[in-house]
């Protein structure tokens, strides 16, 4: 069984933040509606000013910067390194988090998942040259931060993604090959999710 879905950036629904201070573009999730109940959720948020993050109790978060100068987080009183574009940072959704922008507004990229329900792996890949990857995860997401990205699958299928589009692949847990070729020297993010 294999299910492939291309998620277009123009179609992402906008949802309010839990703390009411902004909004998020939701790329994908495993199930449910609203701001709770999902096992994993992938999203983009625009942060216009420094301030507090919403709490997601019981979840793990991996965040990164897509656009802008970057940010620095204070997580339960400890200061993170400066977070620059395509540099992921993980923290507990239970934590008290304050964000300090390093310049102007930024756009960030978030994976929020329930670690008791899913094992997750997230990595940013530079596309200066074609990439060949192998994964046995039942859910694979390929998010394009490049202007154009071609994804070829081992069974002969292919998908063309534009900036901020996402390819969602669900299948039986068997080793699969993906070939990635960017039209520019941009980046893409590979996310692998395995139910526990």
- Taking the alpha carbons of 192, 139, 54, 67 in that order, is the dihedral positive or negative? positive
What is the structure's pLDDT at 35?
64
What is the structure's pLDDT at 34?
63
Query: 124 and 108, same structural domain?
Result: no
Number of domains the chain contains: 2
Query: 159 and 104, same structural domain?
Result: no
Q: Of 91, 113, 135, which residue sits at a domain end? A: 113
Q: Of 68, 86, 113, which residue sits at a domain end? A: 113
174 within some domain = yes
| pTM of the predicted structure, to 2 decimals | 0.92
Nearest 5°: CA angle at 166, between 139 and 154? 55
Are 109 and 41 in contact by the 8 Å Cβ rule? The answer is no
Residues 6+ apart with CB under 8 A from 22: 16, 45, 46, 47, 48
- Owning domain of residue 132: 118-195
Strands 71-75 and 166-171: unpaired
Query: 107 and 62, same structural domain?
Result: yes
Query: 104 and 45, same structural domain?
Result: yes
Chunk the chain into consecutive blocks of 10 residues (it has 196) and report each block's average pLDDT, rounded to whole numbers: 88 79 86 77 92 90 96 96 96 95 93 96 93 94 95 85 95 86 89 95
Query: 125 and 109, same structural domain?
Result: no
Name the one residue in this structure whose structure tokens are 């979840």.
59
What is the structure's pLDDT at 157?
80
Torsion of CA 74, 9, 33, 124, to 10 degrees: -40
Query: 123 and 99, same structural domain?
Result: no
Give the domain CATH number at 157: 2.60.120.10
What is the structure's pLDDT at 1?
57
Query: 133 and 87, same structural domain?
Result: no
For residue 36, the cross-strand partners are none
What is the structure's pLDDT at 171?
86
125 within some domain = yes
What is the structure's pLDDT at 21?
62
What is the structure's pLDDT at 24?
87
What is the structure's pLDDT at 141?
97
């Amino acid at each position: 069984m294999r299910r492939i879905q291309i998620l277009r950036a123009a179609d992402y629904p906008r949802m309010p933040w839990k703390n009411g201070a902004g909004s998020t573009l939701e790329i994908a999730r495993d199930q449910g509606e609203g701001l709770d109940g999902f096992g994993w959720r992938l999203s983009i948020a625009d942060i216009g000013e420094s301030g507090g993050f919403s709490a997601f109790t019981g979840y793990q978060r991996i965040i990164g910067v897509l656009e802008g100068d970057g940010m620095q987080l204070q997580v339960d009183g400890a200061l993170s390194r400066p977070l620059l574009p395509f540099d992921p940072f993980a923290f507990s959704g239970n934590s008290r988090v304050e964000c300090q922008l390093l310049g102007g507004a930024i756009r960030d990229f978030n994976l929020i998942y329930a670690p008791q329900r899913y094992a997750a792996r997230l990595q940013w890949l530079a596309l200066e040259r074609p990439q060949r990857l192998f994964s046995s995860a039942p859910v694979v997401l390929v998010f394009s931060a490049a202007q154009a990205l071609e994804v070829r699958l081992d069974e002969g299928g292919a998908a063309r993604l534009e900036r901020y589009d996402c390819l969602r692949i669900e299948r039986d847990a068997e080793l699969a090959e993906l070939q990635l070729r960017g039209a520019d020297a941009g980046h893409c993010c590979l996310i692998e999710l395995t139910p526990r």
